[in-house]
Structure 1
Amino acid sequence: MSTSISTHSQLQKHLEAVAKPRHLHWNRFGLLSVRNYVAGALGSLGSVEEHSFNEGQGKGINLILRLAGQQPDLPPLLVGAHYDGPLNSIGADDNASGISALLVLAERWAENPPRRPVWIVAFDQEEWGMLGSTALARELRQADQEIRLMVSLEMLAYTAEKQNYPHPAMRAIYGDKGDFIAVVGNTGTEPMLSGLASQMGQHVKTKVLPVPNAGRDIPDVRLSDHSPFWDAGYDAVMVTDTSFMRNPHYHRMTDTIDTLDLPFLEAVTEGIYLSLSMV
């Protein structure tokens, strides 16, 4: 079986398992079902840590799989996506797409170790205010844990004829059509962004956006699990299809698998694998 067919079938399988109502308060059974599925998929590749946290009312569990790299003494990459879903939504793009890509990447890296260690993290309670990533980023900083780069996979599978932006001036730079994947990073990631975009661009049209001040001047770019890592002083990027700036099904029951562009998701996954494997 070719890599392309294998990747497509794996993504489809994971999407079908994860794209369902799943929320701490609205559909707890769905959340537990998805958590068990993700834990099982990661557990087939190695030992999975259940990282429990209690941020206000947002009790939850992050799932962490640590994969050894070819040079295990190097600071690790942390690649994550959130497995909880929004209120009143199937959550196919948000964020079954990110989790599906994460699971495929984990399997690839387990079979073919990258240059440095990779920590695969499935975050809980992103939709409740990035609570899982806030807890983990804080604990890692308190432990003085070095991280080469944190990568948040956030909505990866929607394309559209029309693309909106937080600032109208960005249209002249990035174009009118929602046919690209965006990589949004803090200023510390700027030396890496062009290389990431170049390698990802071998599979999918890629645009980069470096943001100063941890994105506080553009609040829309902070709405995922990378922002707590920015706030904790880590370099981090969000890989995204730009969410509600493109996808009209955002946080609605219409966010279903049949609205997604699966060849685009496959291309994004391959691009991420290529770009991160040698960071």
Structure 2
Amino acid sequence: MDLKELLQVHLLEITRERDPYMATAGHFFVQEYIRQQLTQWGSVDFHTFQVGSKTCKNLILNLPSQSVQNKANLPPVLIGAHYDAVPGTPGADDNATGVAVLLELARKFAAEPTRYPLRLVAFDMEEYGLLGSTEYAALLRQQQQPLRLMMSLEMLGYRDANPGSQSYPSPLERFYPNQGDFIALIGNLRTIPDLIGMSRRIRKTGISSQWLPVPNRGLIVPQTRQSDHAPFWDVGYPAIMVTDTAFMRNPHYHKASDRIATLDLDFLTGVCAGLEFAIRRL
């Protein structure tokens, strides 16, 4: 199967009602699917945390760097995507696309490691206030675990090339294109060299890319904080969100209509290939 078909297989499994409270069977199914997929490439750790009486789980796969000698304690690149969805939506773009790309990156990087060790994390409870990533970022900070970079894969499959299809928080519309046919990289100021380099490399693979650095943990543009990178910003890590910009482009955001049929699978495949290329060159 080619990359597009492999992504489609993942989407077919993950795109279903999977709210952790209202659709527990779907939520457990997707959690188990992710575990089975990642287990092919190494042992999967669970990071469990409590939300009230509920036990929630982030799933973690660590992949080694290129060579053992090169392991001179290089900090890992953490790549995350949330697997929960809001009630009443099958969550194809939000965030089956992010999880599908996470699983394919695991496959690619297990077969051919990168310069940095990688930590791939499927986050739970994002839709309830970034709870899984908040717990995990706090744990890493407490362990004094350095990170080369944290990347949150957040909605990667919706493209609309029509003029006027892309909106922005003011005044960004003056500086960025008004058609929603690009993938956006949004990072804190420490990531500016990575934003520039990764955007350039993604464009080299044929996918349009825009980048935005935000000061002060994104607090002045709250829309830039709506994913699992924000808790990493808050505790001082360099972190980037990779996104199709969600509700600023996709009219199916958080709706029952967020289905596979609305996605642009060629765009999603290009984003996945572009990210692999960019991450290999960090």
Query: What TM-score, normalized to structure 1?
Result: 0.96
Cα distance in 2 for partners of 1:176, 1:58 equals 42
Residue 141 (structure 1) aligns with: 141
- Match in the other structure for 2:181: 179
Q: How many pairs align? A: 274
- Paired with 2:257 and 2:37, the residues of 1 have a C-alpha distance of 26
Aligned counterpart, 1:191: 193
- Which SS does the other structure have where 1:174 is aligned? coil
Q: Are the counterparts in 2 of residues 114 and 277 from structure 1 also a CA contact under 8 Å? A: yes
Q: CA deviation at 1:193?
A: 1.3
For 2:152 and 2:58, the matched residues in 1 are separated by: 14
Runs (4+) of structure 1 moved beyond 3 Å? 55-59
> TM (normalized to structure 2)?
0.95
Matched residue type, 1:213: N
Aligned ranges 1:54-133 → 2 under 5 Å: 54-56=50-52, 59-70=55-66, 71-72=70-71, 73-133=73-133
Q: CA deviation at 1:56?
A: 4.0
2:6 is aligned to: 10
The question of 1:46 aligning with 2:49 is answered no
Instruction: Give, as a single letter, the amino acid of the residue that structure 2 aligns with 1:143.
Output: Q
TM-superposed CA distance for 1:262, in Å, is 0.3
- Cα distance in structure 1, aligned partners of 2:132 and 2:280: 25
**Where in structure 2 are the equivalents of 1:196-215 lying within 5 Å?**
196-203=198-205, 204-215=207-218
Distance 1:250 1:58, change over 3 A: farther
Deviations 1:127-152 (A, max 9, x none): 11111000000000001000000000
Kindly state the Cα deviation for residue 24 of structure 1 after the two structures are TM-superposed. 1.1
Q: Distance in 2 between matches of 1:39 and 1:188?
A: 32
Q: Please report how far the alpha carbon of residue 59 of structure 1 lies from its aligned counterpart in structure 2 after TM superposition.
A: 3.3
For 1:57 and 1:130, the matched residues in 2 are separated by 18
Question: Structure 1: how far apart are the matches of 2:53 and 2:172?
Answer: 37
Corresponding residue number in structure 2 for 1:25: 21
Q: SS in structure 2 opposite 1:251?
A: coil
Unaligned runs of 5+ in 1: none
| Shift, 1:171, TM fit | 2.0
Decide which of 208, 229, 238 is 1:226's aligned counterpart. Answer: 229
Structure 2 unmatched ranges of 5 or more: none
Counterparts of 1:191 and 1:207, CA distance in 2: 14
Change (3 A) 1:128 1:199: same
C-alpha distance after superposition, 1:74-121 (max 9, x if no partner): 100000100111111010000000000000000000000001100000
